[in-house]
């Protein structure tokens, strides 16, 4: 039965129709979106089309995790493939991240057999251990400035105030776990490598070649900047900011190498558009640019265009201001983009806010928080990149390759 149909004349608002009635068939039709595309309904916790994930859990609940639907069968997979990326994301790993002590050990509960994927839904879970809700008791009635507290309360009329609940960055555990699966799929089945690194902390900028950077260089220091000299300056700045009870933001650069020509779909599913949505869905992200990005606006067309040449039967460009994407479709060059992250909203200083009765008050940050999200956001950016690319890889194969 379908009740209270909106966007129709007033006399129909209270109508109750059987789904098989002539009136219902006329209104919705046999080709309505909900019938043709059964997954095209509002699912704010689900991402992807053919390689689809749904994350679940709250910061101070029993645990967090993810369900992957659409992973191809016979991909070798166990917890040892997932844990390294979760270790890179976990809190308590260095002096420049939150001291919350979580092991973040993952368990695969379904979707594999004898060390291989079955092609069925893969459920992964991480238990929350070191949650301290008492640190958030004042936030039960007061809204933290620049957090999701006020907007969640206004939208839903109810919120989990312990650690931010669903709006906490702890939700990204599910993304990183799923991203590790996507990265392995991309590497083994398509020869695509995904990585990211800290490009900038406030005004300290590293000069990194996205075509040559290696994971071992990224992981050589706690800030995950592959330029050692610049990394030391970044670490010093973040640590100094932490001691002052403040926070700092910056930029992460994402890289994907080895893509073939053809991934991405015009018009609304352009590859860079899907990457942008993926990155801007991450907590604290505030900006996205691909290739030359905003700096490209300072160039003339003759300067910005990427000349095309044939090199021993392989089409390549002599430079890559396009960032590996043209017309929304990968062109075979390295995909590279940048994501801007704001300073963490929780600071250990008293700030103006309001309470749940809309009365002016003040609030001082408490609990354990990152002075800078960037070191732990590196695997998050990699995960979202891999999820987008795995999805587009499967979509491209389904659309363009026939037996």
Per-residue three-class SS string for 122-185: EEEEEECCCCCHHHHHHHHCECCCCCCHHHHHHHHCCCCCCCCHHHCHHHHHHHHHHHHHHHHH
Measured in residues, the chain has a length of: 403
Considering the entire predicted model, what is its pTM?
Answer: 0.86
Structure tokens at 135: 């640190």
Give the least confident one: 44-48, 166-170, 223-227, 229-233. Answer: 166-170
By the 10 Å C-beta count (0-12 exposed, 13-18 middle, 19+ buried), 106 is classed as buried
Domain with CATH 3.60.150.10 in the chain: 46-400
- Reference 279, options 194, 207, 341, 335; nearest CA is 341
DSSP three-state, residue 217: helix
- Reference 329, options 383, 272, 277, 290; nearest CA is 272
Q: Tokens 């929304």 identify what position?
A: 328
State the pLDDT confidence band at 134, using cuts at 50, 70 and 90.
Answer: low
- Looking at residue 379, its pLDDT comes to 97
**CB under 8 Å to 310, separation ≥6 — which residues?**
316
Q: Does residue 180 register a pLDDT over 90? A: yes
Out of 3.60.150.10, 1.10.10.1110, 1.10.287.130, 3.30.590.20, which CATH number does the structure's domain 46-400 have? Answer: 3.60.150.10
- Looking at residue 280, its pLDDT comes to 97
pLDDT average, residue stretch 128-150: 79
- Looking at residue 401, its pLDDT comes to 73
- Looking at residue 39, its pLDDT comes to 45
Q: Does residue 317 register a pLDDT over 60? A: yes
Structure tokens at 182: 């996507």
Q: What is the dihedral of CA 208, 213, 217, 219, to 10 degrees?
A: 100
| Phi-psi label, residue 3: left if phi above 0, alpha if psi -120 to 50, beta otherwise | beta
Question: CB 171: neighbour CB atoms within 10 A?
Answer: 22
State the pLDDT confidence band at 177, using cuts at 50, 70 and 90.
Answer: very high
CB 138 within 8 A of CB 365: no
pLDDT digits (tens, 9 = 90+) for 57-116: 887 778 999 999 999 999 999 999 999 999 999 988 899 998 877 889 999 999 999 999
Q: Does residue 48 register a pLDDT over 80? A: yes
Beta bridge partners of 340: 251, 287
């Amino acid at each position: 039965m379908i009740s209270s149909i909106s966007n129709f004349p007033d006399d129909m608002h209270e109508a109750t129709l059987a789904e098989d009635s002539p009136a219902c068939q006329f209104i919705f039709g046999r080709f309505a979106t909900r019938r043709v595309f059964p997954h095209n309904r509002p699912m704010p916790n689900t991402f992807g089309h053919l390689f689809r994930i749904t994350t679940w859990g709250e910061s101070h609940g029993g645990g967090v995790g993810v369900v992957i639907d659409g992973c191809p069968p016979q991909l070798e997979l166990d917890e040892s493939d997932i844990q390294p990326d979760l270790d890179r994301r976990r809190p308590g790993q260095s002096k420049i991240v939150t001291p919350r002590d979580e092991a973040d050990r993952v368990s695969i509960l379904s979707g594999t057999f004898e060390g291989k994927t079955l092609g069925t839904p893969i459920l992964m879970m991480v238990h929350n251990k070191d949650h301290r809700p008492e640190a958030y008791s004042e936030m039960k009635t007061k809204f933290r400035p620049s957090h999701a507290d006020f907007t969640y309360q206004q939208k839903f009329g109810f919120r989990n105030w312990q650690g931010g609940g669903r709006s906490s960055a702890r939700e990204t555990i599910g993304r990183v776990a799923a991203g590790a699966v996507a990265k392995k799929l991309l590497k083994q089945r398509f020869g695509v490598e995904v990585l990211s690194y800290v490009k900038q902390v406030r005004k300290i900028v590293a000069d990194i070649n996205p075509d040559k950077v290696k994971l071992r260089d990224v992981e050589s220091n706690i800030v995950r900047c592959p330029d050692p000299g610049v990394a030391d300056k970044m670490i010093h700045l973040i640590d100094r900011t932490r001691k002052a009870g403040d926070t700092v933001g910056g930029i992460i650069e994402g890289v994907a190498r080895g893509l073939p020509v053809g991934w991405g779909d015009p018009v609304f599913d352009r590859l860079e558009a899907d990457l942008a949505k993926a990155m801007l869905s991450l907590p604290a992200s505030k900006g996205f640019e691909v290739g030359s990005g905003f700096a490209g606006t300072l160039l003339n067309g003759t300067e910005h265009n990427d000349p095309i040449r044939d090199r021993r039967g392989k089409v390549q460009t002599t430079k890559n201001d396009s960032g590996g994407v043209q017309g929304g479709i990968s062109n075979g060059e390295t995909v590279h983009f940048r994501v801007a992250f704001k300073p963490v909203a929780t600071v250990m200083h008293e700030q103006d806010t309001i309470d749940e009765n809309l009365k002016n008050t003040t609030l001082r940050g408490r609990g354990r928080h990152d002075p800078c999200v960037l070191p732990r956001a590196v695997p998050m950016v990699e995960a979202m990149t891999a999820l987008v690319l795995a999805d587009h890889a499967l979509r491209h194969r389904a659309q363009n390759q026939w037996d």
